[in-house]
Amino acid sequence: MNDVPLLPILLHPDPILRAKARPVAEGDADLVRALAPRMLATMYKAPGIGLAAPQVGEKLRLVVIDLQPDDTPSPMVLVNPEIVAASEERAVREEGCLSIPGQYADVERPARVKVRWRELDGTRREMEADDLLATCLQHEIDHLDGVMFTDRLGPLKRNMLIKKFLKEQKLKSREAM
């Protein structure tokens, strides 16, 4: 993946991060096949475990994920993913986001989800997930609907986290001058 060109990751408050992504259509096949490896390379380099197309400026329902179990790459590319069922049981996990780097917070979500998507070749897939994979799937699918993990926090925690992030970004841009 070293020779795959990386993509710039959009940072909060870029308006594309708040837009609802459109479903991938048959006419998008070449674009999506070219985009997926670049998204994976960008995610690995960041480093992260998930990346949604809107985070790299593409308003498409496309997600890449790799939790790298046992430090072994195990990439997943999900075209038009959707959550078709979620448990009533809840779980709290610490989340971060490549579009708000360096900021983390505990987020409560359904403990288990069932997700349906298509592979790059059009094959339909469905799986049930729990633990970190369930959280990652929900986080990335949220991005496709213009929802950031900070939207799942209380107003005080969200405002503190975003203020801190924006302050750090302002400092970085000053230092770069």
Q: How far apart are CA 91 and CA 103, in angstroms?
A: 20
Q: How far apart are CA 75 and CA 62, in angstroms?
A: 13
Q: How far apart are CA 103 and CA 125, in angstroms?
A: 32
To the question of whether residue 136 is assigned a binding role by annotation, the answer is no
Q: Which of 26, 88, 89, 140 is catalytic?
A: 140
Q: What is the DSSP letter of 11?
A: -
To the question of whether residue 97 is assigned a binding role by annotation, the answer is yes
> In the numeric block, which tokens belong to residue 150?
């900070």
30 burial type by CB count under 10 A (0-12 exposed, 13-18 middle, 19+ buried) = exposed
- Smallest CA-to-CA distance from 115 within 145, 138, 139, 148 is with 138
To the question of whether residue 139 is assigned a binding role by annotation, the answer is yes
140 is catalytic: yes
148 burial type by CB count under 10 A (0-12 exposed, 13-18 middle, 19+ buried) = buried
Q: Which residues are catalytic, by number?
A: 140
Binding residues for Fe cation: 97, 139, 143
